[in-house]
Amino acid sequence: MPKWTAEERSTIQSVWQKVNIEQDGLEALDKMITVYPWTQKFKSNFRISTPAAIAGNVKVQEHTRRFLGAIGETVKNLDNVKSSLQSLSDIHSHELFVDPNNFYFEMLVNVMADRLGPSFTPRDQSAIEKFFDVMADGLSNSNQN
């Protein structure tokens, strides 16, 4: 696990508090499917081919809330990312067969930048991207157990 500076910890926690779990999560999912249409196969049971279908699908909304909720819990456990991701890793690797390095994190950063505008500084983006990289690595490492 990486060593977090005090500034990174503070930035990650501060930026994450500004995330609108439902709205930002659905928007990131929409962007991922639009930019990387092949990722739709991961959610084939949700039937989400358009932004309206994504926004209106109760299963998608629940999944997004749970996934971003897990990210929020991980924000609280920066010193123990891997263990905080264990249940999420198990579900995504053994039931959903989703690659933890998919493009959802990238799209979520884009949504954050759009929502927060100039207040989302390059330093903020760097800390958030580092955090998401650590999460993806933690999910990957958990998948190998």
Nearest Cα to Cα of residue 43 among 117, 101, 98, 118: 98
Domain 6-143 falls in which CATH fold?
Answer: Globin-like (1.10.490)
SS3 46: helix
Residue 56 CA, distance from chain mean position: 20
Q: Which two tokens stand for residue 63?
A: 């999944």
**Domain chopping of the chain, boundaries:** 6-143
- Type of residue numbered 21: I
Low-confidence ranges of the chain (pLDDT < 70): 1, 38-51, 87-103, 140-145
Torsion of CA 79, 80, 84, 85, to 10 degrees: 100
